[in-house]
Amino acid sequence: MADAKCAFVFPGQGSQTVGMGEDLYNAVARVRQLYDLAGGILGYDLASLCFTGPESELRQTRVTQPALYLHSYALAELLQGRGIRPDMAAGHSLGEFSALAVAQVFTFEQGLRFVALRGELMQAAGEKQRGGMAAVIGLAPEAVAELCARARGSGVLDIANYNSPAQLVITGGIEPLERAMSLARERGAKRVVPLKVSGAFHSQLMAPVVEKLAEALHACEFSPAQVPVYSNVTGDAATEADVIKDRLIRQLVSPVQWIRSVENMISDGAMRFYEVGAGSVLSNLIRRISRDAEAEPINGWDQIDER
């Protein structure tokens, strides 16, 4: 695989853990600078929440999103400093902002402000209209779409994430979601797992967020991406600033087309994937999408230092 292209992929909400980034902070002055900068922009001590918690606070959407964004960005900077640079990039939901910052579509600081606003708006929307999400494992996409249609009624219920051929995530109001979870079990799903999130992300219940986030994005001039970034909304690559901005706005109420994104990256030559950030969820999904792809999580200083 010497000629294979390299892809950076960035995880989204749910990957956070108390302690993430502390090893980077202790080892590298530049990382300390990023956390100090973030604290000044956000108005609270993000480093302390990341390193010592409490977990209940770190799990709050308004905190989780800046925390994951900064951690991924710092790791990507360090990897590139060791000569490992992406030929293409993608991120899962929130992770798309990390991908775009690394592709120099906007600055670290601009991206941090976007994700802070996005997190605050999404948390508020979840508190105003209660909803949730659940992973459905072992049912085909067509079967999950059909049970969503049956369980929806007059409420909101949709597929949120096409994560792998055997793992989808559904999103919606509490009652339709509970009906869908029961139906999925009846239909023979291997597992149905409620997710620890504060709202029905990637559903129409996030529509109130779209206008305010769009205002912030439109107020910023995006640059063309230095490497192709594969969009959650379409799964296709883009480098044009206007296209990227439009897709980023639509992402809030659209399903994450992760299978399509990975398949397209592989079609475009990527066989080495680095999951840059907390956890290893994306690496596991990539291996399920393609047995030929190599996927390696990069989530700590030890993995950087050995290169």
pLDDT digits (tens, 9 = 90+) for 204-244: 999 999 999 999 999 999 999 999 999 999 999 999 999 99
The number of folded domains in the chain is 2
- Residue 96 covered by a domain: yes
Q: Is 93 considered catalytic here?
A: yes
- Residue 30 covered by a domain: yes
The answer on 209 and 185 residing in a single domain is no
Task: Determine the average pLDDT of the residues in 99-111.
Answer: 98
Query: What integer pLDDT is reported at residue 3 of this predicted model?
Result: 65
- Of the residues 72, 92, 202, 283, which is catalytic? 202
Residues 225-244 as b/e (b if ≥16 CB within 10 A, e otherwise) read bebbbbbbbbbebbeebebb
Question: 194, 220, 244 — which closes off a domain?
Answer: 194
The answer on 134 and 118 residing in a single domain is no
- Tokens at 261, concatenated: 């994104």
The answer on 151 and 254 residing in a single domain is no
Task: Determine the average pLDDT of the residues in 122-134.
Answer: 94
| CATH number for 112 | 3.40.366.10
Query: What integer pLDDT is reported at residue 306 of this predicted model?
Result: 84
Residue 174: how many other CB atoms lie within 10 Å: 13
53 dihedral zone (left: phi>0; alpha: psi -120 to 50; beta): left
Task: Determine the average pLDDT of the residues in 1-28.
Answer: 91
pLDDT in tens, 48-72: 999 999 999 999 999 999 999 999 9
Per the CB < 8 A criterion, the answer to whether 134 and 195 are in contact is yes
Query: What integer pLDDT is reported at residue 7 of this predicted model?
Result: 98
State yes or no: pLDDT of 44 exceeds 90.
yes
Q: Is 202 considered catalytic here?
A: yes
The answer on 234 and 138 residing in a single domain is no
| CATH number for 190 | 3.30.70.250
Q: What span, in angstroms and rounded, lies between the C-alpha atoms of 77 and 23?
A: 15
State yes or no: pLDDT of 250 exceeds 80.
yes
The answer on 123 and 23 residing in a single domain is yes
Q: What span, in angstroms and rounded, lies between the C-alpha atoms of 50 and 19?
A: 6
Q: What span, in angstroms and rounded, lies between the C-alpha atoms of 116 and 109?
A: 11
The answer on 91 and 10 residing in a single domain is yes
Closest CA to 258 of 282, 284, 225, 292: 282
129/115: higher pLDDT:
115
SS (HEC) of the chain: CCCCEEEEEECCCCCCCCCCCHHHHHHCHHHHHHHHHHHHHHCCCHHHHHHHCCHHHHCCHHHHHHHHHHHHHHHHHHHHHCCCCCCEEEECCCHHHHHHHHCCCCCHHHHHHHHHHHHHHHHHHHHHCCEEEEEEECCCHHHHHHHHHHHHCCCCEEEEEEEECCEEEEEEEHHHHHHHHHHHHHCCCCEEEECCCCCCCCCHHHHHHHHHHHHHHHCCCCCCCCCCEECCCCCCEECCHHHHHHHHHHHHHCCECHHHHHHHHHHCCEEEEEEECCCCHHHHHHHHHCCCCEEEEECCHHHHHCC
Q: How many CA atoms lie within 13 A of 92 on its CB side?
A: 28
- Residue 199 covered by a domain: no
Band of residue 2 on the pLDDT scale cut at 50, 70, 90: very low
Task: Determine the average pLDDT of the residues in 80-100.
Answer: 97
The answer on 267 and 139 residing in a single domain is no
307/142: higher pLDDT:
142
The answer on 82 and 18 residing in a single domain is yes
Mean pLDDT of the chain: 96
The answer on 142 and 108 residing in a single domain is no
The answer on 102 and 216 residing in a single domain is yes
Sole residue written with tokens 């986030």: 213
The answer on 298 and 209 residing in a single domain is yes
Print the domain residue range for 29: 5-127+204-305
pLDDT in tens, 165-213: 999 999 999 999 999 999 999 999 999 999 988 899 999 999 999 999 9
